[in-house]
A and B are shown apart, each in its own frame.
Chain A
Amino acid sequence: MDIVTIAVFLALVVAFVIRSWKARGKLAARDRWALITSFVAAVTGFTIASLLINWVVVPPAIWLVAVGLLAGGVIGAVLRWPGLTWFAGTRPIGRTIAVSTSLFICALIIGVAVI
């Protein structure tokens, strides 16, 4: 269980880092909402990790590594921000629905955990 949760946690954080720093290619964030969504997903990963991982047996250093990655991703996201539009592509309605759904799910998970 811990291994799966750690994998999901790190995957969400690493995905944010890659999407922030890559300017081109399939994995690159195409627009600002992609950056925001990816960042919120990474924060959700931290929430899940905090609740579900057994930190008595899993080294808390993993958390600190993830924090370092997240901070690195933030630098990439801020530097790319001016060069991105809010919405890229030709299907703004589809993008709006996808972004809203992602943010809603993340907000729900964080909300249940925090409130």
Chain B
Amino acid sequence: MSAHFTAPRRRSHIVVAVALAAIVALLGVLARPSPPSLSTHVTGDPALAAAVRPHLQGALDRVSVVTIDGDTVTYAHFGANNDTEYEIGSLTKTVTSLLLADAIARGEVTADTKVGELLPLAGAAVADVSLAELASHRSGLPLVATRLQDMVPLYLLAVTHRNPYIHDADEVIGLAGEVSLSHRGQFAYSNLGGALLGHALAAASNMDYGRLVQERIFTPLGMTASSIPLTSGSLPDDPPTGYSVTGKAEPPWTMNGWGPAGGIRSTPADVVRYAQALLNGSAPGMDALTPRWESGLDAFAPHWESGAQKVGYAWFTEEIEGRMVTWHDGGTGGFASIIVLDRASHRAVIVLSNTNASVNDAGLALLMGE
């Protein structure tokens, strides 16, 4: 009797097993990793596209490359065009540094103005730090934070491919007020310092940082497509997004209170306007580019040997094969960027990508004529 029941029950178990396995397999296939590959839709100058291609490595999707040689501007795009929007990340710090030099020229602040004179940091160690120290990463501030309770959420957000820079301006100032300074006077790259500098300059000008950038940089330079959205609510419905260095899709990074350190979104056409103004000296706050302090940042090693490595207000300068190269790069969760300038010969290279794989080698190689 049991044998009569066992066979059908066994069959039904097999059916259930196969059905569940099929569901699991389907879900697994749907969730499979799908890293991007460099777009094959190439526009612009074919020679430039061919020249840069060997230098583009790792996760790639959309890339824009621009060379400026005097008045000649040459573009090459992979899956993009002159108006494609990119997160330019820490290139924003160069804008903030121009604002510092411009504010000094306007007499609003001095290089030695203490950040505590402009922001509510009474009693905090950072209050005694000067604006020049913030701009040159010599403030002793950490990259973002030092306390475990601040670091753990930031790390978890980053490792799970979410935007970790969610604090508003008051919270960023609060974070800065809690940290202790370490090796002040020595170069140590700090997003916290960059953000704090922007808010200090905004306070000095009685504007918020977004309006300050708009009025003193974007508008004078004609950067009409550039913006600095604070939160995801400030973005359009379908903002451009990118991929991590491991090929994972990343959400847009709006950097809220961290905006002065990395929150600008821009286009190749606008970044060209910016670079041209830097080359011809018409940008506000050009003194920011003056190399002032040792950085020890050998950013292009081992591929390139550099001599003196200095930092100005955010801008880095390295002597490479006898040429003074002024540069800054940027990165967010899903984007990477670099501007490389040879000011003496009025040349510049811009590389913007919607993945976080570094484009630094590509930028420098093109500038050096490789």
Q: Assess whether A55 is interfacial by the CB under 8 Å rule.
A: yes
Q: Assess whether B33 is interfacial by the CB under 8 Å rule.
A: yes
Q: Interface code A77-109, partner B: CB below 8 Å = 1, 0 otherwise? A: 111011000000000000000000000000000
Q: Which of A46, A72, A78 is close to B16, meaning CB atoms less than 8 Å apart?
A: A78
Interface residues in B121-170 (C-beta closer than 8 Å to A): 156, 159-161
A67 touching B33 by the CB < 8 A rule?
no
| Docked complex Cα distance between A91 and B360 (Å) | 60
Chain B residue at minimum C-beta to C-beta distance from A68: B25
Known pairs A67-B29, A112-B160; A56 contacts B247 (CB<8 A)? yes
Q: Which of A64, A71, A77 is close to B22, meaning CB atoms less than 8 Å apart?
A: A71
B246 touching A55 by the CB < 8 A rule?
yes
Number of interface residues of B (CB under 8 A): 29
Q: Interface code B18-30, partner A: CB below 8 Å = 1, 0 otherwise? A: 1011101100110
Q: Assess whether B2 is interfacial by the CB under 8 Å rule.
A: no
Q: Assess whether A3 is interfacial by the CB under 8 Å rule.
A: no
B247 touching A54 by the CB < 8 A rule?
yes
A70 touching B24 by the CB < 8 A rule?
yes
Interface residues in B53-96 (C-beta closer than 8 Å to A): 58-59
Q: Which of B14, B25, B357 is most buried by chain A, counting CB atoms within 10 A of its CB? A: B25
Chain A residue at minimum C-beta to C-beta distance from B14: A79
Known pairs A54-B245, A72-B21; A63 contacts B32 (CB<8 A)? yes
B160 touching A51 by the CB < 8 A rule?
yes
Q: Which residues does chain B contribute within 8 Å of A112, judged by CB atoms?
A: 156, 160
Q: Assess whether B114 is interfacial by the CB under 8 Å rule.
A: no
B31 touching A46 by the CB < 8 A rule?
yes
Q: Assess whether A8 is interfacial by the CB under 8 Å rule.
A: no
| Docked complex Cα distance between A60 and B24 (Å) | 17
A75 touching B28 by the CB < 8 A rule?
no
| Docked complex Cα distance between A56 and B57 (Å) | 10
State how many angstroms separate the Cβ of A57 from the closest Cβ of chain B.
Answer: 8
Q: Assess whether A74 is interfacial by the CB under 8 Å rule.
A: yes
A53 touching B246 by the CB < 8 A rule?
yes
Q: Assess whether B13 is interfacial by the CB under 8 Å rule.
A: yes
Q: Assess whether A113 is interfacial by the CB under 8 Å rule.
A: yes
Q: Which of B28, B34, B248 is close to A67, meaning CB atoms less than 8 Å apart?
A: B28
A78 touching B29 by the CB < 8 A rule?
no
Decide if the interface of chain A is mainly helix, strand, loop or mixed: helix
B246 touching A74 by the CB < 8 A rule?
no
Q: Assess whether B222 is interfacial by the CB under 8 Å rule.
A: no
| Docked complex Cα distance between A74 and B18 (Å) | 8
State how many angstroms separate the Cβ of A5 from the closest Cβ of chain B.
Answer: 11
Known pairs A71-B21, A75-B18; A60 contacts B35 (CB<8 A)? yes
| Docked complex Cα distance between A81 and B24 (Å) | 17
A50 touching B33 by the CB < 8 A rule?
yes
A75 touching B17 by the CB < 8 A rule?
yes
Chain B residue at minimum C-beta to C-beta distance from A72: B21
| Docked complex Cα distance between A77 and B59 (Å) | 38
Chain A residue at minimum C-beta to C-beta distance from B15: A78
B35 touching A56 by the CB < 8 A rule?
yes
| Docked complex Cα distance between A97 and B195 (Å) | 47
| Docked complex Cα distance between A112 and B357 (Å) | 25
| Docked complex Cα distance between A110 and B22 (Å) | 22
Interface residues in B251-305 (C-beta closer than 8 Å to A): none
Chain A residue at minimum C-beta to C-beta distance from B30: A67
Q: Interface code B28-54, partner A: CB below 8 Å = 1, 0 otherwise? A: 110111110000000000000000000
| Docked complex Cα distance between A60 and B34 (Å) | 8
A70 touching B28 by the CB < 8 A rule?
yes
B25 touching A71 by the CB < 8 A rule?
yes
Q: Which residues does chain B contribute within 8 Å of A66, judged by CB atoms?
A: 28
* 16 pairs of residues in contact across A and B, judged by CB atoms under 8 Å: A50-B248, A51-B161, A52-B159, A55-B33, A55-B246, A55-B248, A56-B35, A56-B59, A63-B32, A64-B29, A70-B28, A72-B21, A74-B21, A75-B21, A76-B17, A78-B17
Taking A60-B33, A67-B32 as given, write out 20 further A-B residue pairs in contact, using a Cβ cutoff of 8 Å, ordered by the A residue number.
A50-B33, A50-B248, A51-B160, A52-B159, A55-B246, A56-B246, A56-B247, A63-B32, A64-B28, A64-B29, A66-B28, A67-B24, A68-B25, A70-B24, A70-B28, A74-B17, A75-B18, A76-B17, A78-B13, A82-B9
User: Which residues of A line the B interface, CB within 8 A?
Assistant: 46, 50-56, 60, 63-64, 66-68, 70-72, 74-79, 81-82, 112-113
